[in-house]
Chains A and B, each alone.
Chain A
Amino acid sequence: ETGVTQTPRHLVMGMTNKKSLKCEQHLGHNAMYWYKQSAKKPLELMFVYSLEERVENNSVPSRFSPECPNSSHLFLHLHTLQPEDSALYLCASSQVIRDEQYFGPGTRLTVT
């Protein structure tokens, strides 16, 4: 058990749907991250939050919208996704930026 939980674990959505991914960390960390893992590609960093403020996004399309209401919770709001957005979405946290990152189990997203 890593102390970082993600829900749902699996999600199938149509291209016109709106859904949200949730991440919660129980480690008292101050930084949280969203990553995308596509088949046969390296993990791609999407968003970084430090003390609930977005550091910057990594040129992620606007159909992905992150939200960090407090240091323990991170959301990824999804709308009008494309089939190529199907991937494993991983959340991570660290005490501070540059510190060791701890990952959640991921949400397997399929866009139909």
Chain B
Amino acid sequence: KQEVTQIPAALSVPEGENLVLNCSFTDSAIYNLQWFRQDPGKGLTSLLLIQSSQREQTSGRLNASLDKSSGRSTLYIAASQPGDSATYLCAVASRGFGNEKLTFGTGTRLTIIP
């Protein structure tokens, strides 16, 4: 059974700092890994998707890496801004019922201090 863990559960950093969010998963047989952000009371916004054959993906100030063999992914946010404050969720797609199952971590709640 796939399990996804995100540490820390909450993080506060001053504006302008670079930061790293961590995600680990127990079953390395994954199809892809996706990072989302969720604002309070709202749905999820997809940030980056890394296929199992890839090592990293970049979008603007965000960079996500994937080390499938060790079951880890990191989301790097450069030059953080107050608008980056949100909960960041990591999800891995692996074989489950049907063709695919997306398993989520519990998220890291990020607060950027102006």
Residues of A within 8 A of B (CB): 2, 4, 6, 33, 40-43, 45, 48, 50, 55-58, 88, 90, 92, 97-98, 100-106, 108
Would you call B99 and A55 a contact (CB within 8 A)? yes
Would you call A97 and B100 a contact (CB within 8 A)? yes
Say whether, besides A98-B31, A98-B32, A103-B36, A56 and B97 are in contact (CB < 8 Å).
yes
Number of interface residues of B (CB under 8 A): 27
Stretch at the interface among B14-22, B39-47, B64-72: B39-47
Q: Could you name 20 residue pairs across A and B whose Cβ atoms are closer than 8 Å?
A: A40-B106, A42-B4, A42-B103, A42-B104, A42-B107, A43-B89, A45-B96, A45-B103, A48-B97, A50-B99, A90-B43, A92-B44, A97-B100, A98-B99, A100-B46, A101-B46, A103-B36, A103-B44, A104-B43, A106-B43
B contact residues around A41 at 8 Å (CB): 106
